[in-house]
């Protein structure tokens, strides 16, 4: 099993859910308002006067064989507007109950 943590501009929320549904992912946890700044490109999302936008974040746990398709779909979404910001990180899940 793998966990996929996704940090993204709030405007992508519905599209992220669509990517998960399209890959038959039912379970996830999301955080609606998170702050952040990318390490490579894009603008900060800090919820301040100078940087008013915010991010959201989501995490899901999926079977290993689903990861590649999900990442490909997320990458395609990111390419539609790279300045908005979308990053996904994959971690091994050692155990769960």
Both structure tokens of 55: 């991010």
pTM: 0.90
Q: pLDDT tens digits, residue range 49-95?
A: 888 888 999 999 999 999 999 999 999 999 998 778 899 999 999 99
What domains can be seen in the chain, in order of their start residue? 2-92 (3.30.70.120)
* Alpha-carbon Rg for the chain in angstroms: 14
Q: pLDDT tens digits, residue range 24-55?
A: 999 999 999 998 887 777 778 888 888 888 89
Q: Where are the alpha helices (DSSP H) in the chain?
A: 13-22, 67-79
| Closest alpha carbon to 42 in 76, 16, 78 | 78
Q: How far apart are CA 66 and CA 74, in angstroms?
A: 12
């Amino acid at each position: 099993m793998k966990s996929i943590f996704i940090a993204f501009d709030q405007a992508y929320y519905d599209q992220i859910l669509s990517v998960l549904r399209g890959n038959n992912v039912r379970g996830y946890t999301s955080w609606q308002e998170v702050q952040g700044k990318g390490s490579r490109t894009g603008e900060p999302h800090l919820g301040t006067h100078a940087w008013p936008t915010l991010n959201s974040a989501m995490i899901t746990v999926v079977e290993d064989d689903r990861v590649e398709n999900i990442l490909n779909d997320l990458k395609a979404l990111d390419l539609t507007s790279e300045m908005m910001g979308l990053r996904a990180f994959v971690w091994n899940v050692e155990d769960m109950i």
